[in-house]
Amino acid sequence: MKIRKAKIDDVKSIQELININAKKEQMLPRALNDIYESLRDFYLCEDKGIVIGVCALKILWEDLAEIRSLAVNESNQHRGIGSKLVQSCLKEAKDLGLKKVFALTYQTEFFKRLGFKEISKKKLPQKIWGDCLRCPKFPGCDEHAVIISL
């Protein structure tokens, strides 16, 4: 099992894993072109050549980034893969000089174990006026915002 940056050959596997979770309403689906355009944001976990987990770090502003599209294959959950993927994103964020990283999630306790704190979504205007306006759940989003200072 290894964590690494995503490559072009991984795009369809990334989309499949994300969209499986999107069908369970755990995240939004991602189109192939969106994944190609943001491929450099993605880390993945592979085991024997199979993608079993994904996570992306999207930079939103000079001091702010978002953890997004965190998904782990159901049969591989509770093995620390999600934590390792988030830690990889946080390390990159810190290396880039970012000050804060947030996530919108249904898995608040998972992120709290990694040092994130719950905050009001109103404190994330870059996100709300960017991606959220295009979301079918807006303005009735039931996800929770979490943030960590690096």
CATH number at residue 145: 3.40.630.30
Residue closest to 44 by CA, chosen among 95, 88, 102: 88
**Residue 35 scores a pLDDT above 80:** yes
Torsion over CA: 20, 49, 101, 114 (sign): positive
Q: How many domains does the chain have?
A: 1
Range of the domain at 84: 2-149
**Residue 17 scores a pLDDT above 60:** yes
Query: Is residue 139 very low, low, confident or very high in pLDDT (cuts 50, 70, 90)?
Result: low
Query: Is residue 138 very low, low, confident or very high in pLDDT (cuts 50, 70, 90)?
Result: low
Tell me if 102 sits within 8 A of 119, measured CB to CB: yes
The CA distance from 47 to 1, in Å, is: 4
Residue scoring higher pLDDT (12 or 122): 12
pTM above threshold 0.85? yes
